[in-house]
Amino acid sequence: MAPHRADDAAQPPVHSAVAADEGDDGDDAGGRVDRPAWVRLAWFVGLWAAGVAVVATVGYALRWVLL
């Protein structure tokens, strides 16, 4: 999409967590929000544990059905 103003064309796109013209709402035009490291780690651990639980449950169920 073409810029609406001539001075917009001279400005590089903003790729930071807070876009320059969007205020301090914590997200960029793509909707991503920078979260603290402990939140990302908590999500990783939680999803990893859920994955392990699913694999263990399916493995146990298959052993029970097949044996």
Residue 51 shares a structural domain with residue 61: yes
Total number of domains constituting the chain: 2
Q: What letter represents residue 58's amino acid?
A: V
Q: Is residue 65 scored above 80 in pLDDT?
A: yes
pLDDT, tens digit, 9 for 90 and up, residues 13-44: 656 555 555 555 555 566 777 899 999 999 99
Residue 2 shares a structural domain with residue 12: yes
- At residue 32, the pLDDT reads 75
- At residue 58, the pLDDT reads 96
Residue 30 shares a structural domain with residue 53: no
Residue 29 shares a structural domain with residue 47: no
Residue 24 shares a structural domain with residue 52: no
- At residue 45, the pLDDT reads 98
Residue 21 and residue 27 in contact, taking contact as beta carbons nearer than 8 Å: no
Q: Which residues contact 33 (CB under 8 A, 6 or more apart)?
A: 17, 26, 27
Residue 6 shares a structural domain with residue 30: yes
User: In which domain, by residue range, is 13 found?
Assistant: 1-34
In the Cβ-directed half-sphere of 7, how many Cα atoms lie within 13 Å? 0
